[in-house]
Amino acid sequence: MSDWQRENEEVSRDGDIKPPLLSEDQMQEEPGSGRGEEETDAVDVAHVSHGNEKRKEKQNKRIPANLNDVLKKLEEMGYKTSFDVVVREMTFGEKRTALFCLNGLVKEEVLTEVLMRLTFLEPGDLSSDALHSFLDFYVPAAQVDKEENWDMLITFVLAGGSALFIDGESTALKIDAKNFPARGMEEPSLEKVVRGARDGFNETLMVNISLVRRRLRDPKLRYELVMVGERTKTDVCIAYIDDIVDRELLKSIKDKISMVKVDGLPLADKQLEEATIKRGWSPFPLVRYSERPDTVAAHLLEGAVAVFVDTSPSVMTLPTTYTDLVQHAEENRQTPFIGTYLRWVRFIGIFASLFMLPLWLLFVMHPEFKPPVLEFLGPSKTGKIPIFVQFILVEIGVDLLRMASVHTPTTLATAMSLVAAILIGDIAVKTGLFVNEVILYMAIAAIGMFATPSYELGLANRIVRLVLLMAVAAFNVPGLVIATTVIVIFLVNERSMNRPYMWPIIPFDAKALLSIVIRQPLLYNRTRPNILKPQQRDKMPETS
């Protein structure tokens, strides 16, 4: 075999492209081939170059056996530049080692215990296979594994792990001693209950999945971890109960997440939602967010899929419907009668927030439409600004107050409320800029929006109210009817993970609608929602 054939054979082993072996005489132009000697040389050189690049890339992914080479590569990762990158070089049993970790993301007491244990090694304690000795005998950490790929090892360390390099070994040890900074568990501010659990999710993924696991001691509960983002490599956990969840739904969610190709998800679950749920400009939420572990556990038992995103205190549950978004955990913490009453009060508040202002505006503009029992409606004075403009200004003012309350420190929130209620509202009415009833009905609509359990749905309903107001101002009764019809048709055509958004209203499901209108007792609610297509419809276990 000639030198050229040996080189060509080596390229075929290491590269992806495997050109046929040709002799040096076959390098000349073949009769009728249509390819000259120069073109043949160019193609073969390209094959060799491509194979060399592949071989070089493959070698770059390997962990160097020489510790000095490892340290040089670590300098490219921020060692000696970033103060939080820690590399501790030590010699154990005449073997040079280097411990690589990120300060602040590891449990220092665990790594200190590992290093203390290794300091007792003598030269004769290590066999010829030092890696095997460290892995099986001398590293006392609970979770230790081997890693040969450099990129995978660096990703593990950047996620909070630690790596132990051994001189002369092209394999490193992964030590899982993570310690993420996290705030304490607090009750979610958007999903408070009078009675019930006070724990809520925080920004640490392991804490969040543990809170759900504590409530679901089911061996069929599955947590699948994937990484999303070329740079952030954000951990995303897909949770489901294996013998309940619809397989097609699970596969669809996995496929959508796996196809996300972005630099990163610094804003966590919200960016993941936009990347997976192709919602366009629709203001309505197609996923449900929850910060309560008991709520997420209940959805998993129904057959839904939960998506945890690291660094986010909220969890997405898929799929969701409009009726799911108007239910709250407080209803299930009370008796069925009280729960039903609270649910109806919430429904009435949401309905009033949508239609009270447009209907009142319609009656003011056309008093002849008012029924006799509503003759008292309508202002005695219209004010210096048209009624429709007053509503728009008050809507914008409420949004400004809401944003100001979010950005205002807690110690100044009371002072801001006094300024908003007394200086702005009262003086605006007394000067004749606004009508008293405009402020009254706008306050009722705002209360209905704040009573909506889903914050995202409350904001979407505000947009619907503005559309209805503009339709009434422009086209009177036809405008209200047409705008309402268009919005209903839009909601009927919406789908969440290929599930109808307005179920069980459209398509109509009497039994499911009854369970939403009336909070049924636990033992009466024996089946899971058919919209989720669960593998097991019956909730109650079989009894002998």
Q: Environment class of residue 216 by beta-carbon count within 10 Å: exposed (0-12), middle (13-18) or buried (19+)?
A: middle
d(CA 26, CA 33): 12
pLDDT by position in tens, the chain (length 544): 444 444 444 444 444 434 444 444 444 444 444 444 444 454 454 454 555 555 555 555 889 999 999 999 999 888 888 988 999 999 888 889 999 999 888 888 888 888 888 888 877 777 667 777 787 777 876 778 899 999 999 999 998 899 999 998 899 999 988 887 777 778 888 888 888 888 899 989 999 999 999 999 999 999 999 999 999 899 999 999 999 999 999 999 999 999 999 998 898 888 999 888 876 788 999 999 999 999 999 999 999 999 999 999 999 999 999 999 999 988 888 999 999 999 999 999 999 999 999 998 898 888 888 888 777 777 767 667 888 888 888 888 888 877 877 777 766 666 666 666 666 666 777 777 778 888 888 888 888 888 899 989 999 999 999 999 999 999 989 999 999 999 999 999 999 998 999 999 999 999 999 999 999 998 888 889 999 999 999 887 765 4
**What is the rounded distance in angstroms from the CA atom of residue 43 to the CA atom of residue 484?**
66
Burial class (CB in 10 A: 0-12, 13-18, 19+), 57: exposed
Kindly report each contact of residues 279-283 with a partner whose C-beta sits within 8 Å and lies 24 or more positions away, as own/partner. Answer: 282/490, 282/494, 283/459, 283/460, 283/463, 283/464
Question: Do residues 305 and 296 touch, judged by C-beta distance below 8 A?
Answer: no
- Lateral strand order in the sheet of 288-290: 221-228, 234-241, 305-309, 315-318, 288-290
The number of helices, as runs of H, and strands, as runs of E, in the chain is 18, 12
Residue type, 337: F
Residue 34 burial by Cβ neighbours in a 10 Å radius (0-12, 13-18, 19+)? exposed
Cis peptide before 283 (omega within 30 of 0): no
How far apart CA 32 and CA 263 sit, in angstroms, is: 50
pTM for this predicted structure? 0.80
Tell me, rounded to whole angstroms, the distance of Cα 398 from its chain centroid: 29
Contact yes or no for 135/169 (Cβ under 8 A): no
Annotated domain spans of the chain: 61-175, 205-320, 332-500
